[in-house]
């Protein structure tokens, strides 16, 4: 095992150690030495330039990452990121989740669905001064001013409606950046292996290693004949990206430097220890229990109806992934006393700050606001869940839209402006693909019963359901679904143009409930905004002090993840999972056969098993995944105790890059900026990295590009797509 003293020192030291950091592209030159030490040859200045290769080939899906890999707009991402597109095109007759899908020509590529988008980030501009200029000291007014300033910047940025712009907060409101993204509105499904490949091992293997998942799929971006983004149309043409990734068919070896570019969702590394304790002690256990109950319900109902199972497959997969992550966080908090580690660091900072300022007023103020926020979350939790029905959510959104449309566009809440209407309508349309009233009713009933069983009650909701026992409540909900027209797509869409008065006169039970809840929800929203206004003063001030503290210690600081484009670097490396168990960084085809039972989730397709049995590896065979032990890059335990031969195709591999949710589908690059894999998961021990990065055990899990190429070549015979790729060695 590695030096225990080094580990102890690393855990008790400051931030940005080892391979830690989800860096903004513009920060690359400031860490050029770290990149070079990992063998990243591509210039840091080039990585900072979003107009240059490879960053201009990395795109967002809004919830995952993808990258262009051909001049014809072909993009690769994870299978689980393309899940909605596969589900959208599946039914009981053509279940592409089960069978897989491959379009033999452009004409056979179907729409990925009305909600699917590709976002190409073209510019990131510091707008801190514009957002924070002349802000009021009144919390609610301050919140509204920040919101108005952001909307004004977005409106100016979106003068061309082919672009989607957003203003994102960095360092907890200390900085703001304007993100400008080209929107590709016509996205099509090209190639996806069956789920038995894309999610081999299912929830059992989720967050685990060794792993043997072919978590990849291909999409394609289309535009109008004029080359500009357009909604889906049969005569649209493939988008021609400014660049596309070169693919290194030779892959990587243990000890080589790699980096990842993508859109990580959320981390909480600069949050207070009290916030971690609240998440660990109350929020995560409560959420995990609810997710498990909902998954059990969907499984039970889907077992009796295949069409229903297909409709809710994406919803269930998302909840299962979230639930396992929550359980992993809880296990991680128990296995490593992260709260104590964070508290120690926090105490050291607070002592330094008190010495610098003469008091701890700032810290005490933030402590009080965080306590207030925790109280709000707990008080609201069951009431918010009690509004979980998809049809009720649609009614709430539609009535809010009618109210917002009474205001000038610039005064409307974000999400209800004219810029949002296409996505608003698409969301209403998309509901049909993942909705069944039987499931929705059962899930909503469970949330209502949980709400009625606790003490934080709301009079408005109680007026509808508060005096009903279980049987009466179930009968009441049955009446809701029977009397509502919102289950019909055309009826839902028709409400987009109606006035508040028309909603208030409606007898649709979901609309009646939405109207009744409106004032309560708006009052709670005002309370939230007021608190956010207070936090918009306290958190940035705290963050600035924390940055100053780390500068004194000589440590750079990266922002918490917030869904914006980031770069992380590291190396291909295994890790010490527990006593006497070192996990090597690569898995191979043999592991698929070894795990295969013929029963899900270990039911590999016969054509894949046949190719492995026939040893039909072709040019994809890899003799060794380890470097010469004498190499200066070979600093791994695995290099000192490596197997003699690999002699297979690498399936998945580990690296020390810093990733989180949203990085799914992110391209993994070698030191020259060539594609060598796709990020898709983390190891179970690494789940706590959303709060704390431990470089000794934090590993990301990637699909090896050599497995993807072998699948395309020897198993699914996707020669038409292979011909599009630029392969190098």
Q: Within 10 Å of residue 190's Cβ, how many Cβ atoms?
A: 27
- Among 302, 298, 297, 294, CA closest to 323: 294
Q: Which residue has the tokens 């397709």?
A: 605
Do 138 and 393 form a contact (C-beta atoms < 8 A)? no
Do 261 and 666 form a contact (C-beta atoms < 8 A)? yes
Do 79 and 198 form a contact (C-beta atoms < 8 A)? yes
Which of the following is catalytic: 19, 215, 436, 716? 215
Q: How many Å from the N-terminal Cα to the C-terminal Cα in the chain?
A: 35
Interior/surface letters 479-511, b for 16+ CB within 10 angstroms, e for the rest = ebbeebebbeeeebeebeebebeebeebebbbb
Give all strands (DSSP E) within 117-254, no chain letters.
118-126, 163-170, 175-184, 186-192, 217-223, 237-238, 247-248
DSSP string, 651-710: EEEEE-----TT-TTPEEE-TTS-EEEEEEEE-GGGGGGGT---TTT--EEEEEHHHHHH
**Phi, psi dihedral angles at 151 (to 5 degrees):** -65, -35
Catalytic residue list contains 620: no
- DSSP 3-state of 192: strand
- Rounded Cα distance, 492 and 429, in Å: 8
Which of the following is catalytic: 90, 196, 664, 682? 664
Do 58 and 241 form a contact (C-beta atoms < 8 A)? no
Dihedral of CA atoms 663, 665, 666, 667 in degrees, nearest 10, equals 160
- Rounded Cα distance, 695 and 597, in Å: 35
CA angle 124, 125, 131 (to 5 degrees): 130
Residue 2 burial (CB < 10 Å; 0-12/13-18/19+)? exposed
Q: How many residues in total does the chain contain? A: 729
Catalytic residue list contains 215: yes
Token pair of 705, please?
A: 């590009």
Catalytic residue list contains 664: yes
Do 205 and 321 form a contact (C-beta atoms < 8 A)? no
- Rounded Cα distance, 63 and 284, in Å: 21
Which of the following is catalytic: 70, 79, 80, 508? 80
CA angle 157, 162, 168 (to 5 degrees): 45
Looking at residue 572, the DSSP 8-state letter turns out to be B
The sign of the CA dihedral 269, 143, 386, 64 is negative
CA angle 150, 153, 155 (to 5 degrees): 110
- Rounded Cα distance, 494 and 110, in Å: 27
Do 249 and 727 form a contact (C-beta atoms < 8 A)? yes
- Among 624, 644, 592, 557, CA closest to 214: 592
- DSSP 3-state of 175: strand
Residues classed as catalytic: 80, 215, 664
């Amino acid at each position: 095992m590695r030096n225990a003293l080094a580990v102890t020192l690393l855990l008790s030291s400051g931030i940005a150690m080892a391979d830690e950091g989800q860096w903004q592209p513009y920060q690359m030159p400031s860490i050029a030495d770290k990149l070079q030490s990992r063998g990243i040859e591509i210039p840091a200045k080039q990585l900072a330039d979003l107009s240059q290769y490879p960053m201009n080939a990395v795109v967002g899906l809004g919830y995952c990452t993808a990258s262009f890999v051909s001049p014809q707009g072909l993009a690769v991402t994870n299978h689980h990121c393309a899940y909605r597109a596969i589900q959208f095109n599946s039914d009981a007759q053509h279940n592409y989740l089960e069978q897989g899908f491959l379009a033999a020509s452009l004409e056979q590529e179907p729409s990925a669905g009305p909600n699917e988008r590709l976002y190409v980030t073209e510019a990131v501009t510091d707008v801190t001064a514009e957002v924070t200029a002349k802000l009021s000291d009144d919390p609610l007014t301050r919140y509204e001013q920040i919101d108005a300033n952001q909307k004004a910047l977005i409106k100016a940025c979106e003068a061309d409606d082919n672009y989607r712009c957003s203003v994102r907060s960095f360092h907890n409101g200390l900085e703001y950046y304007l993100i400008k993204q080209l929107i590709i509105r016509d996205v099509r499904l090209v190639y996806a292996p069956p789920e038995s490949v894309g999610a081999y091992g299912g929830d059992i293997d989720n967050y685990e290693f060794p792993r043997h998942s072919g978590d990849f799929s291909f999409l394609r971006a289309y535009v109008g004949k004029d080359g500009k983004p357009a909604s889906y149309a049969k005569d649209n043409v493939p988008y021609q990206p400014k660049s596309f990734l070169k693919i290194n068919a030779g892959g990587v070896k243990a000890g080589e430097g790699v980096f990842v570019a993508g859109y990580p969702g959320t981390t909480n590394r600069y949050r207070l220890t009290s916030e971690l304790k609240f998440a660990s002690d109350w929020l995560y256990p409560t959420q995990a229990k609810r997710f498990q109950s909902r998954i059990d319900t969907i499984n039970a109902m889907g077992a009796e109806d295949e069409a229903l199972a297909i409709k809710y497959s994406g919803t269930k997969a998302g909840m299962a992934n979230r639930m396992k992550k929550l359980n992993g966080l809880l296990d991680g908090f128990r296995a490593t006393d992260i709260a104590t580690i964070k508290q120690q660091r926090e105490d050291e900072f607070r002592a330094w700050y008190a010495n610098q300022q003469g008091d701890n007023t700032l810290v005490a103020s933030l402590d009080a606001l965080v306590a207030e926020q925790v109280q709000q979350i707990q008080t609201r939790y069951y009431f918010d869940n009690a509004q979980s029905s998809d049809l009720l959510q649609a009614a709430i959104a539609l009535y809010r839209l009618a109210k917002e449309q009474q205001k000038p566009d610039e005064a409307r809440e974000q999400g209800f402006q004219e810029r949002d209407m296409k996505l608003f309508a698409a969301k209403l349309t998309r509901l049909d693909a993942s909705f069944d009233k039987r499931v929705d009713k059962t899930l909503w009933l469970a949330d209502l019963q949980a709400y009625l069983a606790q003490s934080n009650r709301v009079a408005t909701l109680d007026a509808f359901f508060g005096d009903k026992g279980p049987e009466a409540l179930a009968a009441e909900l049955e009446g809701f679904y029977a009397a509502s027209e919102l289950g019909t797509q055309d009826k839902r869409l028709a409400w987009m143009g109606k006035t508040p008065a028309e909603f208030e006169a409606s007898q649709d039970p979901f609309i009646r409930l939405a109207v009744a809840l409106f004032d309560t929800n708006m009052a709670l929203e005002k309370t939230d905004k007021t608190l956010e206004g207070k936090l918009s003063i306290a958190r940035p001030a705290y963050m600035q002090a924390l940055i100053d503290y780390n500068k004194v210690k000589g440590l750079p600081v990266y922002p918490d993840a917030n869904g914006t484009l980031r770069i992380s670097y590291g190396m291909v490396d295994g890790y010490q999972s527990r006593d006497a168990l070192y996990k090597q960084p690569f898995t191979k085809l043999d592991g698929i056969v070894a795990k295969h039972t013929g029963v899900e989730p270990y039911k590999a397709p016969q054509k894949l098993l046949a190719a492995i049995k026939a040893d039909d590896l072709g040019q994809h065979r890899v003799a060794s995944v380890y470097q010469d032990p004498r190499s200066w890059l070979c600093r791994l335990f695995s290099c000192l105790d490596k197997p003699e031969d690999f002699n297979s195709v690498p399936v998945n591999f580990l690296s020390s890059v810093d990733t989180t949710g949203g990085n799914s589908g992110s391209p993994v690059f070698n030191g020259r900026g060539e594609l060598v894999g796709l990020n898709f998961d983390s190891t179970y021990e690494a789940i706590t990295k959303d709060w704390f990065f431990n470089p000794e055990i934090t590993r990301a899990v990637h699909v090896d590009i050599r497995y993807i190429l072998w699948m395309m070549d020897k198993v699914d015979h996707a020669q038409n797509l292979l011909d599009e790729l630029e392969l190098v060695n």
